[in-house]
Structure 1
Amino acid sequence: MDNANDFRPIRVFFSKKGDAIYISHLDLTRCMQRCIKRSGIPIWYTQGFHPHQYMTFALPLALGYESECESMDIRLTEEMDLSVVMELLNAALPRDIRVLRVTQPKMDPKEIAFAEYEAEVSFACDSQGEKFLALLEQDQILVSKRTKKGPKDVDLKPLLELLSWEEREGALHLSLRLPAGSTLNLNPTLLFDAFCRAYQCETAQWKVRRTRVLTANFTEFC
């Protein structure tokens, strides 16, 4: 039986934008499987009664989010120029999913500790900038996070880092850093929900883009 360690692991970094933000993680996996098969890349299949393409994603993206830093690990059954792999994948993928680079993995996904986001959000209430800052100054920002064991209360206050913000053209433009990875994975939507509860208003609209994935010492995941 073939040993997975005998085959060459590669890491594919890609962006997910435009209409692709409405593709769930499960559908993204299916999309990648079909596109890899269409591309002709010699991918390794797992062994057993139900062989399937070996494919893992470091940090699945929330539905509705854009990203500039998604990554997927696969294994090849033969040596290939990584620039050719990138070219073949982009030729097979839909236009809103683009491979940015293909490398050999240097870090374990378990090393991921943070993710950074840029968000544009407007709330259906007055003085949203002042109220947003007032929310961040509270002693606690309690949110309810869904987990496999059910809802869990989390205090965002010590976990959230606001890197920058400004109010422009009726919307708040935010740059945020939040915990990410297997231990605790939070996304900015929790903060928006907390704002709505605190000030009894509804989120009019929001756009979120993940820009960086980082390790505990703030090194970019690679």
Structure 2
Amino acid sequence: MNNTAMTGNVENMAQRNRQILAMPNVRVFYQKKGRAKYISHLDITRCMQRALKRAGIPVWYTQGFNPHMYLTFALPLALGYESECECMDFRLSEPMDLETVKERLGKALPRDMAVTKVALQQAKPQEIVQAEYELRFFCNDPAQLISALTAFCEKPELIVMKRTKKGEKPVDLKPEFQLLEHWQEEGCAVFRARFTAGQKNINPTLLTDLFLKENNMQDVLVQVLRKQIYLADGSVFE
């Protein structure tokens, strides 16, 4: 191959990459429940890469010596949590109908994971400010637990040690969450609450662990389900 041909190929590849980068990101919303809640975020990334390959979806790869799928996840879920509103962004290398993406990827995912929606990216992950959770406390006396947790959350401050990249530091949870409602089910007390999320992410178990410890209820089992993610104006993250 002569130099002119090589130069032409490089220029064509560069033009092709510019065209792909100009395309909007695709955002996949999915659920992660049941046994899937024990899949770590790192393994979720690997799982999605394999599923996209099996589904035959033309995903754009990064350039360089080690090309890989460019996937991004907004607000990665803590291990052991369930969620109805996980999302993943990627860019197609060629046009594909979004309903086709949803159908193919849904069939390629493992049990307890399901695609709920596929759309073009709207808000950026950096715009997330809150996440809503359903906290289920499995106990012998749901009414008593509801009363105790409600009273606990009325304290003027709730100090916990939060782990950060620079080590642990004390954090007051009081301004970082809001209880919205609660109800009882058989053998279970359920709370719906919103927590600060995004740039400053507050894990709900910081609150539940502190409550159970101070009330000597370590035998109570807590199940966390993320219901929705919100922007600063109160709209749903899409």
TM-score, length-scaled by structure 2: 0.88
**Where does 1:186-197 land on structure 2 (aligned, <5 Å)?**
186-197=202-213
Paired position in structure 1 for 2:151: 134
Paired position in structure 2 for 1:6: 22
Distance change >3 Å, CA 170–CA 95, structure 1 → 2:
closer
Deviation string 1:48-69 (CA, Å, 9 cap, x unpaired) is 1111001000110011111111
Conservation of the 8 A alpha-carbon contact between 1:16 and 1:98: yes
Q: Distance between the aligned counterparts of 1:169 and 1:101, measured in 2?
A: 32
Paired position in structure 2 for 1:47: 63
Gaps of 5+ in 1: none
Paired position in structure 2 for 1:32: 48
Conservation of the 8 A alpha-carbon contact between 2:139 and 2:221: yes
Q: Distance between the aligned counterparts of 1:51 and 1:120, measured in 2?
A: 42
Query: Does the alignment pair 1:63 with 2:79?
Result: yes
Conservation of the 8 A alpha-carbon contact between 2:146 and 2:182: no
Paired position in structure 1 for 2:166: 149
Paired position in structure 1 for 2:10: none
Q: Quote the RMSD (CA, aligned, Å).
A: 1.7
Letter in 1 for 2:169: K
Structure richer in strand, relative to its length: 1
Distance change >3 Å, CA 129–CA 8, structure 1 → 2:
closer
Paired position in structure 2 for 1:101: 117
Q: Distance between the aligned counterparts of 2:64 and 2:201, measured in 1?
A: 32
Letter in 2 for 1:142: I
Structure richer in helix, relative to its length: 2
Deviation string 1:96-154 (CA, Å, 9 cap, x unpaired) is 11111110111111110000001111358893222212211111111222211111211
Q: Percent identity among equivalent residues?
A: 48
Query: Does the alignment pair 1:92 with 2:108?
Result: yes
3-state SS of the aligned residue for 2:91? strand
Q: 2:98 aligns with which of 73, 82, 85?
A: 82
Gaps of 5+ in 2: 1-13
Q: Distance between the aligned counterparts of 2:140 and 2:169, measured in 1?
A: 27
Report deviation, 1:159: 1.6
Q: Which 4+ stretches in 1 moved above 2 angstroms?
A: 1-4, 122-130, 166-171
3-state SS of the aligned residue for 2:78? coil
TM-score, length-scaled by structure 1: 0.94
Q: Distance between the aligned counterparts of 1:14 and 1:129, measured in 2?
A: 31
Distance change >3 Å, CA 35–CA 93, structure 1 → 2:
same
Range moving further from structure 2, 40-49 or 158-167: 158-167
Paired position in structure 2 for 1:181: 198
Q: Distance between the aligned counterparts of 1:23 and 1:198, measured in 2?
A: 30
Letter in 2 for 1:115: A
